[in-house]
Structure 1
Amino acid sequence: MKGTLWCLHGAVGMAADWRGLSVPGWSVKRVDLWRFLDCCPMTMPEFGLALNREAESGNRETPGKRVLVAYSMGARLALHALLEGGPWDAAVLIGPHPGLESEEERAARRASDAEWASLALSGKWAGFLRKWEDQAVLQRSPDGEGGMADRAGLSVRRREVARSFIDWSLGAQQPLWSRLGEISCPVLWEAGELDPKFRALAERATPLIPNAELWVAPGAGHRLPWDGPAAFREKLGEFLERLGS
């Protein structure tokens, strides 16, 4: 076994979103992010430290390389893990946001996310999910194959989902742009061709990381691992092969 892929899901996501991912020679650890919020609040830097401790402990049981594979909110959390000096040999970051750069933007995002938190906690779950999925950024590409897990059962985690909109809001995140150069491991930063906002962020971020590569997934939107899973797996496999050579 070459190592373990530590897979982090996105906002209103599930560890099971990664159930279709397999790479020959690698084990896949699908991380349930909600368990980090099931007892008390946790900041993003605190999450980074907690995940790093878990990865360091886990390596004694499953030796080999440790690679973060993280999507959207999970990729923002992965950035904090990388910047907290984690034991990572590489990272695949899919559509992360390094941070809003003005307090006005952050305050507006915190207010917006507080509304999402309220709806997730006390509104009808089905209505919350419909509103969430209706966001333009989450629309599948015309040829998208889907494959994400059914969110209906996530209602048992609605308290943790609501808390994530507060603790892990983009508005609560300090901008990381000036710190990206601290990331020394190889990074594959991915964005969908049909996701202009996060493609622009990726194009700005990757030159700031010493050992980073940008991949723009053809025909994919923000949810690129599920818009084009075959292309995603192929690119991931190529990256991991170079990591091992």
Structure 2
Amino acid sequence: MAPRKLAAGNWKMNGDLAALDQIAMIGDAGASCDVLICPPAPLLVPMIAGAGPVKIGAQDCHAEDAGAHTGDISAVLLRDLGASHVIVGHSERRADHAETDAMVCAKAAAAHRAGLVAIICLGETEAERDDGRTLDVIATQLAGSLPEGATAANSVIAYEPVWAIGTGRTPSLDQIAEVHALLRDRLVARLADGADVALLYGGSVKPGNATEIFAVPHVDGALVGGASLKAADFIPIIAALDAA
């Protein structure tokens, strides 16, 4: 069984009710791969109601199933609302909220308990890349962020070099291939179905570079930021993944 292709959009703190028509247009594109949008939390309910074939996920969850955690959202509630996925460990969460690998692992485990697919994000900083430490950083993050009980059915890994997110810069195809090969090798060594875990690339993916990125071995899709906000930009990326 090959990994299921996934085109995932992370809207971050963008979008409003008027943007719901973008979801309808994305759904009408008739993609054969899985398509996911992760909007800001207040848009989850109206977006799920009109998503059609598009899957809807969240951008974060708490590690606990319930409790006195003002402002946080449990994976249990996300699943109850109809979400299918949740992003954990995005570099902006790691940097802005000091999230460690252990915290990301706990959130992924909570997602699994709730029946959600956890999209576990990994990525090196520019300084780590320049120091030649990329593979060590990624291997350490994967080991610390992937919980016990992870499978190809409940986990997706997204490689997002921090220095490429929202900057317009992307690694070379060889650099992407090197990291994805490492991820595949480590997953195969750790999980019985590690060969089937979907590996996404994220970081300034756009219509102009999607085709060449999706041709890289072990790239099974993308986690897309700004280019997922408009159907006109996201649909060509989805089409490129379908054709890969």
Which is helix-richer, 1 or 2?
A: 1
TM-based fold match above 0.5:
no
State the TM-score, normalized to the length of structure 2: 0.34
State the TM-score, normalized to the length of structure 1: 0.34
